[in-house]
Amino acid sequence: MYVIFGASGNVGRATATALRHAGHDVRAVVRNQAQQDMFTRIGCETVHADLDDEASLHRALDGAHAVQMLCPLPHRDPDPGSAMHRMIVTAARALREHPHLHVVALSDYGAELDEDTGITMLFHELEAAFKQNVPRLTLLRSAEHMHNWMRVLPAALATGRLPSLHHSLDRQFPTVAAQDVGVLAAHLLSEARDEDGVRIVSIEGPSRYDANDVARAFSEATGRDIAALALPRDEWTATLLRAGLSTNHAKLITDLYDAQNAGRIDVDPRTERRFGTTSLRDALAALTQTVNA
């Protein structure tokens, strides 16, 4: 039995689907009825669990031989960093009680760094906690997800300008489609792991892109003229707060992009490297079509 935490997310859904297509038994961990119905239709068992509730994690893990673990940043929490830290501690403690499991934990480019990386610092904490508590561990570090750009598409359609925290606009950065991460995760889960140890795999897309490429892809997908706009650094926090983020959440994002723009966050060359097949153009076109539908 393969257990997928965060099954309703873009990566988790792709992992569960790939495993089911390969004929494997899958248990999707969900939080509401609507999510449950989606996975029941493709033949998954479903279970309700909460990363703040250790007892529910044990129920979800019962009978499993491999698990995909995601500790997401809780966007609605006023202090999302502290909330995610608590989830990491709870998940690590629960996994320690199931030492036979092969765990594929979703992580981030830059998770090897131990200071001043914003959101990525939380994945550094996750990796450290899981290394201490999970004997058979695969860490899957992914580049920035292409679908994150959908958050600023409404502003781009309204103004013709795509706001970017990537500076400069022609600086290329690694990015990857969520479905490619999910497909790779399914492959890693299904590989036999008979020995204890930590394996670290990194994934990004087939090419690197810059913010101008993103604007061009949206222009093609929407039929609208959209140009990238480098949002001035001194406007970042106010813009994020106007978008509804808490002060703590905004700080995590600004620290992250400061580190990225300084060239500190990239693939760790010591890891195994994999490359997805979905281009930025295809990913954004598909996402835009879904929103329109």
Locate 98 and state its tokens. Answer: 């199931």
Tell me what pLDDT residue 292 has.
64
Q: Name residue 30's beta-bridge partners.
A: 48
Tell me what pLDDT residue 32 has.
77
Q: What is the DSSP letter of 33?
A: H
Cα 293 to its chain centre, rounded Å, is: 24
What are the boundaries of each domain within the chain? 2-292
Which superfamily does 2-292 belong to?
NAD(P)-binding Rossmann-like Domain (3.40.50.720)
Tell me what pLDDT residue 291 has.
64
Tell me what pLDDT residue 99 has.
95
Locate 39 and state its tokens. Answer: 């996975």
Closest CA to 3 of 177, 127, 186: 186
Q: Name residue 199's beta-bridge partners.
A: 138
Tell me what pLDDT residue 193 has.
74
Locate 40 and state its tokens. Answer: 């029941």
Asked whether the CA dihedral 159, 9, 90, 274 is positive or negative, the reply is negative
Locate 124 and state its tokens. Answer: 């550094």
Tell me what pLDDT residue 183 has.
98
Q: Name residue 134's beta-bridge partners.
A: none
Can you list the alpha helix ranges (DSSP code H) found in the chain? 10-21, 33-41, 54-61, 80-96, 119-133, 153-159, 178-190, 211-222, 236-242, 247-261, 280-292
Backbone angles phi, psi at 97, to 5 degrees: -85, 0
Splitting the chain (293 residues) into consecutive groups of 10 residues, what average pLDDT does each group show?
Answer: 95 97 96 84 94 95 96 91 96 96 97 96 98 97 97 94 97 98 97 87 98 97 96 96 94 98 97 98 91 61
